[in-house]
Chains A and B, each alone.
Chain A
Amino acid sequence: MSSSPANGHPGDAPLLGLVLAGGRSTRMRTDKAALRYAGRSQLERAMELIAPHVERSFVSVRADQTEDPLRARFAQIRDLHANLGPIAGLLAAQARHPEAAWLVLACDLPLLDTATLANLVRCRAPQRAATAYRSSHDGLPEPLCAIWEPRSAARLAAYVARGRQCPRRFLLDADVLLLDEPNPEALDNVNTPEEYRTAMSALPPETTSDPKHITVQYYALLREQAGRRDEALVTTARTAAELYAELTQRYPFSLAPGVLRVAINAEFREWTAALADGDAVVFIPPVAGG
């Protein structure tokens, strides 16, 4: 379930996802894709985060990583060039699906949130070479949380043919829509063991099934079927999806979760979002404004 619609407009190239996990993690001294946050590897977290925003997603790997168990679980795109850094992953993806635009994500952004991706997809400028965030640290384009349009491919290939390989420098000279980050920490990357410890402590702990006090508000058809506008309840549901499943036991809800969206504390969230004590949850039926 998407936390925010991928607004494909007719004529735009289809949007595919690429999570870059072919780096050498030299400064971390251990595979960054395998680092665990809140109980899950960063690669799994990144693949889950990107999925609602794209039609299909792939993990970008080096030729010698295809059998790695962590990476073998996902559809892969193998680098065609060695020692070219992250740009090799993008080139291989553009070669595999030249018709597609690519939402490219680095695998070292543990604080990246769905709102940042949703905003990128919403503001996408398909007629430009790319849509990217302007770094809140140095004002430069962030190439590894960006949408690369098919029209960037020829110039990117020519750039590499000239012996260049820095995607950020490429974007500086390209026709790029630059956006401000909705959450300035979302694109903080993690390169060293110390940065890893800092990022881990910034993330919520692993979800538990301890009883939680949750308030639920009902709107429209769900309000009529529940026979109430809101309620406070104690639940062991760990996620919004589990809470909806619990509530369907109690009320004659006719809407499947697939047509609903979820808001927690008045922001759109994933169905898999962990519930915390005190959260206010709203299940959002298909909307009909205008």
Chain B
Amino acid sequence: MSTATQTKARRVGFFTWLGGATRGASITRLIASLSGLFILWEIAATYWVNNRLLLVPFSEVITTLGKEIESGDFGKHLATTGAELAIAFPIAVFGGIMIGAILAGSKPVRQTLDPILTALYSLPVVALAPLFTSALGFGIPSKVAIVILMAIFPVITNTDAGLRSADPALLETARSFQATKLQTLRTVTLPHSVPFLVSGVRTAFARALVGVIVAEFFGSISGFGFAIAAAAQSYQTARLLGYVLVLGAIGLLASVALTALERALAPWKED
């Protein structure tokens, strides 16, 4: 007779736990929301959308993706897109930090370059993709160039903003303790700009992912963008969605990794 109340009590306990801040709870929430999405997808594709050009069931997408992996096609595309990102992204981050630091350090340079940078940042760089393909060919170099152009600007802007926005009160405190310029940079300005940097890198990665796929659309011989374009042209919706699913997973993983990185680099900035 008391089993009913016991079960109830345990259920309440579970939901309280699920709403909590433990690692287990957040992983459970992530799995729950993803499986919810996939189940909804499966049901919608089976009973609601009859046009197989638009939507195929989740299970079929996974099967198709499995075949792609088995045939080695997936690995080939992953290697191409992965190489492009692995070359371009570090260059964009490192170069962005360097340029951002120069801008923050020199007002004349900043004032001179600012209009150009703002224009380039707001420009849809992917529109230039055909030009890069004509100039640099169908291979990796043209994609690397576009990814750098897409990803570098948020890093520049955020580095510049982070380095210039340190609390004047903290700078004055450092000065009252006779801090040298280098000490002030190390103890005040740099720690202050860490969260800015991480957020710049986060935006940069999202833009890099878009950049690499669109660049591959416009002329390539392999890569995820090539595979998606090829699948679209031959009406293989399951294959197309399979690669899109992988891109989503990469985006999610990168976001989780960057959040962890920010926690590690800026432990004072909880919640």
Whether A and B are associated in the same complex: the answer reads: no
